[in-house]
Amino acid sequence: MKYLLIFLVVLVIFIISVTLGAHNDQVITFNYLLAQGEFRISTLLAALFGAGFVLGWAICGLFWLRVRVSLGHAQRKIKRMQSQLDKSNQPVTSSTSVAGRE
């Protein structure tokens, strides 16, 4: 349900940007870091929206990957500590009989 709501919000934003871009066929000069170019507003709006969307997903994916890696390390550490605890709690059994020493 949560993912459906997020998808719908993104879809609405995309539809609004396409609608605004379709009604604005004006050509503008866009100055970016290395050069400048003349673009239609609709093309520029769609390209910047797409670039922001991809960049946002990449950043979220990196944070998710970091959390998953740390979770894997913690689970391995827990398993190792549980096996050490199980080894230390095993009862000591001896093969010699106590009755034979009397």
pLDDT at residue 78, rounded to an integer: 96
pLDDT for the residue numbered 51: 92
pLDDT at res. 98: 55
Residue matched to tokens 């034979």: 100
Query: Structure pTM?
Result: 0.58
Looking from the CA of 73 toward its CB, the CA atoms found within 13 Å total 6
At 33, is the secondary structure helix, strand, or coil?
A: coil
Q: Return the pLDDT at 23.
A: 74
Dig out the tokens for 21 from the structure: 């871009």
Residue 27: helix, strand or coil by DSSP?
Answer: strand
- What gap in Å lies between CA 32 and CA 39, rounded to an integer? 12
Q: How far is 45 from 16, CA to CA, in rounded Å?
A: 11
Task: Going residue by residue through the chain, which has 102 residues, state the pLDDT in tens, using 9 for 90 and above.
Answer: 888 888 898 888 878 877 776 777 889 898 888 889 998 887 887 788 889 989 999 999 999 999 999 999 999 999 999 999 888 887 766 665 555 554
